[in-house]
Structure 1
């Protein structure tokens, strides 16, 4: 970061000193010359005082949450060790990316070497905090120096999660807690011991929290579980959404948040959940482990519209799930005709920007439909898409 070596006061002092020296020669006034030379020397001496000392520093950052959600506030603690002759006075500022915001500035030095500020998630994605900038000035405020210290810290901003209503009991009778079964090595999910990642290990078994703490990929022990009985599909086909630009698409952001919220709702109700995108790529598999949730949220943090959709029957596979939630964008009636419920017990289609004809056609083909409006409460949209308790479709 390039800054001017002199402050506004220092530049004014330099200009005034030059003018006085010229006036002293014109008017033959020696006192003006003395004052002019003094004003010229002061900024130069101030520059020497500020820039001559050699400084180095180390920075450690600690964030209160491993993953920061959009709209969530986290506390950041920065330990700043500055090695320099004397204790310079100035102001510190931590460099923040566009994905977050916070009042990351303060006076230096403080009472301790610990600097604190609050950080709020603004836009999902991955970004870096830092470096830490220290701006110091001389006692007269004529010269300044801005230095960067420490490494940057990666931060992941995940989608916002909303509290959604559960499905009626009879709707989820084909899945849920009644059919969740698991056989694990060890004494249960709470006692699973992570181990180092080996070539060939499945991404679905990455232990995200252990990875974050140890700094290297860690995976859970071998486990054997039943097939998932709830499926959530995020349709991110490029044709469904606005073209990516500098500002995020509000409709797509709402769809990603609803995708995460629906998956976590099913987990709370006892379902095993698979989350796919429209191309059939697995975004997350939730089997009741906390690191499963973290893995899904990390995957959803960077997802963007791209590709073309596949047939839902190819994504779901040969075994019809219990609940099936498809979250899509701008679809037309022709698109709705091709959307198969894949024999799901509770098919729910939530669309942002869909035409009325498309929703009507989807309803005729067995979908429980709702329109995802960015101005509407996601919980109310979800409520309107929940099917009534009835027998599963064949």
Structure 2
């Protein structure tokens, strides 16, 4: 339903009919010289006036607070919304509440308003389309006891709900890449990435005073400074190609292929983290969408970033996206790809280059294979496409992936 509130007339159909009947009775009373009809007409006018006063004079106000049981709502996932409405007003004869939902969220957010003040309202919503959307405001539609007059009011502010792409389970990488998962793959050296990578050493001339390790200094009696130890973490790179020409032009409805690609990006990145990799997620222009190192905040940050991505811009050469050292698994997720473009996809020596294409044209897969890519068409079944693209399947001519 649209977030725009449709303005309602002050009178219902019954109220308008009562006014019209009153006018007809006035005319009939004059034509027939029947004063009794004037009294009936006056009664109808007074009833309509009374109905309008009952509905419109009371000043109704009150705060509206919403709680959504899921901070990040996944496409296809159901969540509960609790609305607390502390209405300060006279008793409402009859009211219908409606919480306005964006088109990207489905749910039955309408019901009869309880007569008690300070009421909690609950309803379920389901994520339909990823993005950041506003829920609310709360609309109260009241009608007088006779059904003659009506009033529609909005209360409270909106509440943002973030719908993130669906994450689907995927098959593990094949054993020829490393049976131990990410712990057996390409490593890169980082400083200061973990909580246990600090060890004290003796102070030498030129060290910054900000690096002094005061606890170790007090313990040893000599000036000590923090020494960051090198820690090794396996790397994987996931690239979402959102180059504008790879996808359909943006319109009022979602591009199903791009939505599938975004879901695949989230699924692959989180799957590689579970296999022990440190995962960097970039778009085709080199913008960082997420860096996953096994923390829950990393996961949420990636999903929020993917909730807002749209096709745009041009792509850079993939090799320029990593700083000299090729990653272990390199997963490129793209859309419309022809043979000429596929022949330009260098992977820079990645140990497991995997290409997923939502719209591969004839010759694209073969051109990518000549460069060492393992590829597969990306359709609705992301899990099946991932299995088809795994290097083990390609090497064994379609055999089962070792699990």
Counterpart in the other structure of 1:256: 262
Higher mean C-alpha deviation, range 167-176 or range 38-47: 167-176
In the alignment, which of 237, 243, 248 is matched to residue 237 of structure 1?
243
Q: In the TM superposition, what whole-angstrom CA distance separates every residue of 1:294-319 from its partner, at most 9, and x where no partner exists?
A: 00000000100000111000012211
| Alignment pair present for 1:381 and 2:385 | yes
Q: Where in structure 2 are the equivalents of 1:37-76 lying within 5 Å?
A: 37-76=42-81
In the alignment, which of 106, 127, 138 is matched to residue 132 of structure 1?
138
* Matched residue SS, 1:109: coil
In the alignment, which of 80, 84, 99 is matched to residue 104 of structure 2?
99
Counterpart in the other structure of 1:327: 333
Q: In the TM superposition, what whole-angstrom CA distance separates every residue of 1:170-217 from its partner, at most 9, and x where no partner exists?
A: 3146970346798666579xxxxxxxxxxxxxxxxxxxxxxxxxxxxx
Q: In the TM superposition, what whole-angstrom CA distance separates every residue of 1:202-242 from its partner, at most 9, and x where no partner exists?
A: xxxxxxxxxxxxxxxxxxxx998646511100000001000
Structure 2 CA distance for aligned equivalents of residues 110 and 187 of structure 1: 59
Structure 1 CA distance for aligned equivalents of residues 182 and 27 of structure 2: 88
Q: In the TM superposition, what whole-angstrom CA distance separates every residue of 1:274-293 from its partner, at most 9, and x where no partner exists?
A: 00000011000000000100
CA-atom RMSD, angstroms? Answer: 2.3
Counterpart in the other structure of 1:198: none
Q: Where in structure 2 are the equivalents of 1:184-333 lying within 5 Å?
A: 186=195, 226=232, 229-333=235-339
Q: CA deviation at 1:166?
A: 1.0
Q: CA deviation at 1:88?
A: 4.6
Counterpart in the other structure of 1:342: 348
Structure 2 CA distance for aligned equivalents of residues 128 and 22 of structure 1: 52
* Matched residue SS, 1:310: coil
- TM normalised by structure 1 equals 0.85
State whether residues 289 and 302 of structure 2, in contact with CA within 8 Å, keep that contact through their aligned partners in structure 1. yes
Q: Which has the larger radius of gyration?
A: 2
How many residues in Structure 1 have an aligned counterpart in Structure 2? Answer: 356
- TM normalised by structure 2 equals 0.83
Q: Where in structure 2 are the equivalents of 1:353-392 lying within 5 Å?
A: 353-373=359-379, 376-388=380-392
* Matched residue SS, 1:13: helix
State whether residues 175 and 322 of structure 1, in contact with CA within 8 Å, keep that contact through their aligned partners in structure 2. no
Higher mean C-alpha deviation, range 321-330 or range 173-182: 173-182
Counterpart in the other structure of 2:155: 149
State whether residues 184 and 223 of structure 1, in contact with CA within 8 Å, keep that contact through their aligned partners in structure 2. no
Q: CA deviation at 1:359?
A: 1.2
Q: CA deviation at 1:52?
A: 0.4
Counterpart in the other structure of 2:358: 352
Q: CA deviation at 1:356?
A: 2.2
Q: CA deviation at 1:155?
A: 1.0
State whether residues 234 and 276 of structure 2, in contact with CA within 8 Å, keep that contact through their aligned partners in structure 1. no
